[in-house]
């Protein structure tokens, strides 16, 4: 089962379930900053001290308006440390205007066009007998798997990202913080 197939049916159920179960739950802190459910993905990312590189990349790729829009979106948000695993020269080159297309594809490989909380993703993994294909807006297919109580995402190159903070609710979707940048197939 792919995420696109599952997301349409599950999003309403998952959203309703979380609205009932977590009506009074607070969002997790990200980098010591409060994430407000009434703010959108960009507003919260700008307030996160561990997502400055991601914010700069989103600005360079002209994706601010998109990710501020109504969504819903699920964003697997790499931290500054995750971007730090990329060579400085390579990262600087990606942020150049001439690399906008490549940067846009990389960033949209972190975005799903549906709101998917971790419980729904874990359910997809269980239904898939240990893994689930997660199709992104950038055309990447990530493989989601359980690692103990956590979720990992493996890109088409075998790079593994761990979800370090799950279910950061946003007005236009949800963010899951990850510890590695995922890339399109190379």
Evaluate if residue 68 carries a pLDDT over 50: yes
pLDDT of 108 above 80: yes
Quote the CA–CA distance of 34 and 93 in Å, as a whole number.
32
Please tell me the pTM assigned to this model.
0.86
Q: What are the Cα distances from residue 165, in Å, to 6, 30, 67, 75?
A: 22, 8, 19, 12
Section 120-145 average pLDDT: 96
Grade residue 26 by pLDDT with cuts at 50, 70 and 90: confident
Spatial separation of the C-alpha atoms in residues 68 and 43, rounded to whole Å: 8
Distance CA 66, CA 59 (A): 11
Q: What is the mean pLDDT of the chain?
A: 87
Q: Which two tokens stand for residue 47?
A: 């307030």
Please give the class, per CATH, of domain 3-19+27-178: mainly beta
Is residue 7 very low, low, confident or very high in pLDDT (cuts 50, 70, 90)? Answer: very low
């Amino acid at each position: 089962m792919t995420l696109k197939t599952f997301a349409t049916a599950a999003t309403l159920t998952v959203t309703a379930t979380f609205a009932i179960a977590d009506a009074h739950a607070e969002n997790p802190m990200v980098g010591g900053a409060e994430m407000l459910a009434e703010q959108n993905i960009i507003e919260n990312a700008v307030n996160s001290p561990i997502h400055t590189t991601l914010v700069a990349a989103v600005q360079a790729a002209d994706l601010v308006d998109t990710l501020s829009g109504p969504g819903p979106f699920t964003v697997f948000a790499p931290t500054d440390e995750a971007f730090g695993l990329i060579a400085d020269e390579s990262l600087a080159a990606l942020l150049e205007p001439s690399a906008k297309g490549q940067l846009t594809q990389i960033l949209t490989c972190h975005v799903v066009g549906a709101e998917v909380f971790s419980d729904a993703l874990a359910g997809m993994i269980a239904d898939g007998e240990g893994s689930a294909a997660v199709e992104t807006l950038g055309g990447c297919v990530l493989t989601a798997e359980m690692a103990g109580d956590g979720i990992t995402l493996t890109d088409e190159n075998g790079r593994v990202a761990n979800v370090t903070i799950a279910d950061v609710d946003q007005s236009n979707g949800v963010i899951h913080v990850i510890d590695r940048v995922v890339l399109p197939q190379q």
